[in-house]
Structure 1
């Protein structure tokens, strides 16, 4: 009797241990860090049998696929390990983004893959409920057309989002009222559309950094600093050991209000010469002597100008001016935060591509102890990374506990 009870206890313990590993295992496959069962076994620190059971359960839940007969690589010896990948037919989440020039809705699968997208390049009204209703309606249509199961929704906005209230404190380029309850409004619209699963809201650059850390240029970084322009303004984010550093109330890393030119342009925050107004697309167009047009976004106009007219003296001078001010800001951030990688998005990515040596030299020249100048500065690699990051918010409950999220 005792032997039977001991065996039952051992079986129950193994089962509980395996279930507790479901979330970490799914995250490893989701982020591409466990392409095989052998790697999964090593990363989880479990036995091969336990890793196999975990993979089998995730496959049964419709989340991953296990290829038990992978082809061996040329010249390799021994039996190849089972290959793991996300299930292309599995559930999706609704991702939404609002910016100064419109909005975009998308369905995103595990692995950060965009399944369908619906851009909405419209004038963003001053009523956040109306805008969020429109973007959710586009997402709901995508879901109906796809027939896929939705397990959550995430929204990226160009504003600091205060916690725990979920309010947009400074939607400066949207004409929304300060303190707009964007999280509650988004949840209301998601529920009204009949979309299942929890709904989340976050700052667009924070979410871009999270997406790049899991699926893009930030993979493998322990302390990842992201600085990026949106369609207007500049934002920053820090990912530490895989998690966003948001501070005590969600407002950390408002790097756009770091002064880089004390005699510069007045900023919305009341100061002068902030990164936000000295290194964003409007600042670049102004410095190059170009009048912004209404046809496409300021960000796209700036990109086109850099790519097609960089040989023009005024365009090159404007780029060098922004690079110097961006480098000054990055040097201060690197000296304070000591990241092991810096990634740049939006117009800043284009500036890095235009003259990487100049930007890195500015940062190195202002580095402390000669160390900050050696930090890698890379371009973001994901298209629509804020959208992918919004999806990551929605995926998090599933990554934390797949069984609970699906049942």
Structure 2
């Protein structure tokens, strides 16, 4: 009896690590799962079967054999495409977006909303949760949690937005509390009929988490992500697989590195020439001599300009100016943090893709580590990575204890 109980306890303890391995694509087969968990084939098989019974993964017991392959093929493991989802939400300077995200970072459904975000967080959070609730109703999927990404440093564990600079929200807005209230008000419930748990994070922080698990940062030990979305610039660092948020959630406010001290734009922080105001979509449009329009977001306007008018001398010069300033900021971060990979998101991703060698040269020339050995710079690999990252916050309790999360 004791041996049987011990075996069952060991198997349950392995459910979370096993699901995490499948979720991140790190265990595509049962053989790899066995090796990664350090258990017997029988235990790995039982764990995979339990996760399949829970509706979280699928086990292909009859995989095809590649031509020339030796030995019996191992069972293939994938997340269940029809399994449960979490509600992911993002609020940005030009509106919001809601999505349903499955395991593996897969976007099941998504819907945007464009608006001027009002000063009351409850207004836009009510709209984004309502949009997510409609997606849940139309798809009929089971929801296990809700995650929100916001363009502000988020204090931990309170979940307050400390500096929503590009929103009209007051500093210290209790965003997690308001988000949870809206989740309850719109009837977003889990398998037991109780409101799902709600989580909030900074948009670039959670984007970095998503990129590390599912995108350009997979396999990196120390991943630095720098991105500009609709307004401003953010950064995040993943160390040894864990998001580094500092003592209270405020680490990596990279937008306030000075890159243009002489004649730079005034910044919200009180300084001048910061990344936040020198290398974001508004700065690019103004440098290119374009007047921003209200029809679509600043990010979409900037992306279209790069895509459609890059041969225009004014656009090319503006892009080169922003690339040089971004390179200066990245060089300083490389000197301080010594990452083994840099991933760029939002407009930075598109600027990098337009002239990758120019940016790499600036970083290498202006950083000690860049000179001794280049730090790989990549474009972020996920569309809507902040949404996927918000979903990661909501998935984490399930990854920690799948059986407990689904038994509530």
User: 1:370 Cα deviation (Å)?
Assistant: 5.1
In the alignment, what sits opposite 1:184? 177
* Residues 299-314 of structure 1: pairs in structure 2 closer than 5 A: 299-314=299-314
* Residues 25-64 of structure 1: pairs in structure 2 closer than 5 A: 25-64=18-57
In the alignment, what sits opposite 2:193? none
Q: 2:149 aligns with which of 146, 156, 171?
A: 156
| Structure 1 residues 328-357: Cα deviation after superposition (integer angstroms, max 9, x where no partner) | 000110111111100000110011111111
* Residues 146-295 of structure 1: pairs in structure 2 closer than 5 A: 146-196=139-189, 197-263=196-262, 264-295=264-295
Cα 1:404–1:305 change in 2 (3 A) is: same
Q: Is it true that 1:121 corresponds to 2:111 in the alignment?
A: no
| Structure 1 residues 17-39: Cα deviation after superposition (integer angstroms, max 9, x where no partner) | 11111001001101111110001
- The answer to whether the 8 A contact 2:365-2:371 is kept is no
Distance (Å, rounded) in 2 between the aligned partners of 1:22 and 1:141: 32
Q: 1:66 aligns with which of 55, 59, 67?
A: 59
SS at match of 1:29: helix
- The answer to whether the 8 A contact 2:256-2:276 is kept is yes
Cα 1:372–1:53 change in 2 (3 A) is: farther
In the alignment, what sits opposite 1:85? 78
Superposition TM-score, scaled by structure 2 size: 0.96
Runs of 4+ residues deviating >2 angstroms = 369-373
Distance (Å, rounded) in 2 between the aligned partners of 1:41 and 1:374: 36
SS at match of 2:328: helix
Distance (Å, rounded) in 2 between the aligned partners of 1:202 and 1:35: 29
Distance (Å, rounded) in 1 between the aligned partners of 2:392 and 2:247: 21
User: 1:123 Cα deviation (Å)?
Assistant: 2.1
**CA RMSD, Structure 1 to Structure 2 (Å):** 1.0
- The answer to whether the 8 A contact 1:227-1:344 is kept is yes
Equivalenced residue count is 400
Higher mean displacement: 8-17 or 68-77: 8-17
Distance (Å, rounded) in 2 between the aligned partners of 1:267 and 1:302: 20
In the alignment, what sits opposite 1:401? 401
- The answer to whether the 8 A contact 1:118-1:138 is kept is yes
* Residues 381-392 of structure 1: pairs in structure 2 closer than 5 A: 381-392=381-392
* Residues 101-140 of structure 1: pairs in structure 2 closer than 5 A: 101-140=94-133
SS at match of 2:129: helix
- The answer to whether the 8 A contact 1:338-1:372 is kept is no
In the alignment, what sits opposite 1:4? none
**Unaligned ranges ≥5, structure 1:** 1-7
SS at match of 1:21: helix
| Structure 1 residues 375-398: Cα deviation after superposition (integer angstroms, max 9, x where no partner) | 100001111110010000000000
User: 1:96 Cα deviation (Å)?
Assistant: 0.4
| Structure 1 residues 244-281: Cα deviation after superposition (integer angstroms, max 9, x where no partner) | 10000000000000111112110000011100001001
**Unaligned ranges ≥5, structure 2:** 190-195
SS at match of 1:120: strand
SS at match of 1:319: helix
User: 1:369 Cα deviation (Å)?
Assistant: 5.2
